[in-house]
């Protein structure tokens, strides 16, 4: 028995597990497909959890269990067909724990959803589907009774991200601050506006809800007829402002070029993508969003380029300690690209507002 098969043997799966094969190309966790010999037994996915990023594995798996069980109960109550393909199901380890620790790594197992596909391309159709799927996911969890924790503390907290930048600027460990004064000024002038979510939350006007916090187009599964099955990659599901799921999708989805595009002229904010995503999102999330949350959706579209700009610039000033870089100036190029995207989104603020009004009247 090889070591992966040995790991599989610690989970309570049905059937005879065959040798695990590498699955997908995730950047965070390592995944393996575990087929079973019997036709009437499901296949499984074995994952090694990235413990360096997700330091509290108990909390991580607690969140995921609460979320998937809640969604499953709702699907059962609605007598939805084919439930095992519409929500992820995790398989307990030998002691009924949510994961198995082999002495140095943490492992988990879930059911493999057969005949499912992901999309990589952002089109108006896939954006509308993404809006529908992520809005529906938030709606399904709007009445979750349990408290969830933050699997990455302060992940989308703008005040915290600015504090990290301030500390980097004060320390200036590699002497890069003098060269980025224009960028620091651009951050400074928007500081109060961009921290308004935290401020409104303190005033009791803005709730935190359970959000996905990694709303990429390839984090949705579709069946062969292109119907949405479910949302996947639940590691960052945590309490946040709804802006996380709205703003971060548009940050990558509505920009036609990669987030580190060096040619600033190519960076844009595609209004057709914005409209399609917003239409889908409002359709499935309108039932629980407050008027203030809806009013602040254009702010969400600006917040995420701004937050990513702050995070990349912080890493540049710190000497490239967090994000992997492909060339020496990479984090500076990324910072300038996100700044440019922010300018492009800001230029569309009035148009975004009008469109949202037209969808909600």
**Which residues in 193-222 contact Mg ion (CB under 5 A)?**
214
308 binds ligand GN1 per the rule CB under 6 A = yes
Measured from the CB atom, the residue of 53 and 347 that comes closer to ligand GN1 is 53
248 binds Mg ion per the rule CB under 5 A = no
Smallest separation (angstroms) from Mg ion to the CB of 308: 13
Beta strands in the chain (DSSP E): 21-22, 30-34, 44-48, 100-101, 106-111, 209-211, 220-222, 228-231, 238-240
Instruction: Tell which residue, 159, 146, 132, 94, has the closest CA to residue 277.
Output: 132
164 binds ligand GN1 per the rule CB under 6 A = no
> Distance (Å, rounded) from C-alpha 334 to C-alpha 269?
16
Smallest separation (angstroms) from Mg ion to the CB of 235: 7
Smallest separation (angstroms) from Mg ion to the CB of 66: 20
- Provide the 3-class DSSP secondary structure of residue 326: coil
Q: Do β-strands 44-48 and 106-111 pair in parallel, antiparallel, or remain unpaired?
A: antiparallel
- Provide the 3-class DSSP secondary structure of residue 195: coil
Interface map 101-140 toward ligand GN1 (x if CB under 6 A): ----------------------------------------
Measured from the CB atom, the residue of 152 and 177 that comes closer to ligand GN1 is 152
Smallest separation (angstroms) from ligand GN1 to the CB of 267: 15
27 binds ligand GN1 per the rule CB under 6 A = yes
Measured from the CB atom, the residue of 138 and 308 that comes closer to ligand GN1 is 308
Encode 43-74: b = buried (16+ Cβ within 10 Å), e = exposed: bbbbbbbbeeebeebeebbbbbebbbebbbeb
Instruction: Tell which residue, 250, 160, 244, has the closest CA to residue 209.
Output: 244
Smallest separation (angstroms) from ligand GN1 to the CB of 353: 25
Task: Count the neighbouring beta carbons within 10 Å of the beta carbon of residue 85.
Answer: 17
Measured from the CB atom, the residue of 259 and 295 that comes closer to ligand GN1 is 259
CA 160 to chain centroid: 18
Measured from the CB atom, the residue of 138 and 219 that comes closer to ligand GN1 is 219
348 binds ligand GN1 per the rule CB under 6 A = no
Could you write out the DSSP letters of every residue in 205-267?
-S--EEE-S---GGGEEE-TT--EEEE---TT-EEE-THHHHHHHHHHHS-SS-TT-S-GGG-
- Residues that contact Mg ion, how many (by CB under 5 A): 1
Tell me which of ligand GN1, Mg ion, none is bound by residue 219, counting a contact when its beta carbon lies within the kind-specific cut-off of 5 to 8 angstroms. Answer: none
Q: Which two tokens stand for residue 18?
A: 């065959």
Binder among 53, 292, 347, 357 for ligand GN1 (CB under 6 A): 53
Tell me which of ligand GN1, Mg ion, none is bound by residue 340, counting a contact when its beta carbon lies within the kind-specific cut-off of 5 to 8 angstroms. Answer: none
Tell me which of ligand GN1, Mg ion, none is bound by residue 98, counting a contact when its beta carbon lies within the kind-specific cut-off of 5 to 8 angstroms. Answer: none
Measured from the CB atom, the residue of 24 and 97 that comes closer to ligand GN1 is 24
Measured from the CB atom, the residue of 144 and 325 that comes closer to ligand GN1 is 325
Phi then psi dihedrals of residue 271, to 5 deg: -65, -25
Measured from the CB atom, the residue of 214 and 261 that comes closer to Mg ion is 214
- Provide the 3-class DSSP secondary structure of residue 319: coil
- Provide the 3-class DSSP secondary structure of residue 27: coil
Q: Which residues bind ligand GN1 (CB under 6 A)?
A: 27-28, 53, 152, 259, 308
Residues of the shown chain interacting with Mg ion in the complex, contacts defined by CB under 5 A: 214
């Amino acid at each position: 028995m090889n070591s992966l098969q040995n790991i599989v043997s610690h989970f309570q799966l049905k059937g005879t597990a065959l040798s695990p094969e590498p699955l997908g190309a995730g950047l965070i966790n390592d995944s393996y497909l575990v087929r079973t010999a019997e036709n009437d037994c499901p296949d499984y996915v074995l994952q090694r959890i990235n413990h360096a990023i997700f330091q509290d594995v108990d909390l991580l798996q607690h969140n995921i269990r609460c979320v998937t069980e809640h969604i499953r109960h709702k699907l059962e109550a609605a007598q939805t067909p084919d439930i095992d393909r519409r929500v992820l199901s995790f398989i307990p380890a030998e002691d009924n724990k949510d994961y198995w620790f082999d002495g140095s790594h943490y492992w988990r197992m879930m059911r493999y959803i057969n005949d499912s596909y992901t999309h990589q391309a952002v089109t108006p159709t896939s954006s509308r589907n993404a809006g529908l799927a992520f809005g529906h996911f938030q709606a399904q969890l709007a009445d979750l009774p349990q408290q969830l924790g933050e699997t990455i503390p302060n992940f989308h907290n703008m005040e915290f991200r600015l504090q990290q930048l301030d500390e980097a600027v004060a320390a200036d460990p590699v002497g890069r601050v003098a060269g980025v004064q224009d960028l620091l000024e651009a951050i400074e002038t928007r500081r109060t506006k961009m921290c308004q979510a935290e401020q409104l939350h303190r005033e009791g006007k803005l709730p935190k809800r359970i959000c996905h916090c990694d709303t990429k187009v390839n984090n949705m599964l579709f069946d062969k007829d292109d119907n949405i099955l479910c949302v996947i990659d639940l590691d960052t599901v945590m309490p946040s402002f709804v802006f996380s799921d709205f703003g971060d999708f548009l940050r990558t989805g509505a920009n036609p070029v990669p987030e580190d595009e060096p040619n600033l002229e190519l960076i844009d904010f595609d209004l057709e993508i914005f409209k399609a995503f917003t239409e889908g999102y409002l359709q499935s999330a309108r039932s629980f969003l407050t008027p203030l949350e809806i009013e602040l959706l254009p702010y969400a579209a600006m917040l995420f380029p701004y937050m990513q700009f702050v995070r990349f610039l912080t890493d540049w000033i710190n000497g490239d300690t967090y994000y992997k870089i492909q060339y020496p100036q990479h984090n500076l190029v990324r910072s300038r690209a996100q700044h440019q995207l922010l300018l492009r989104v800001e230029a569309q603020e009035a148009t975004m507002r009008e469109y949202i009004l037209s969808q909600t009247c």
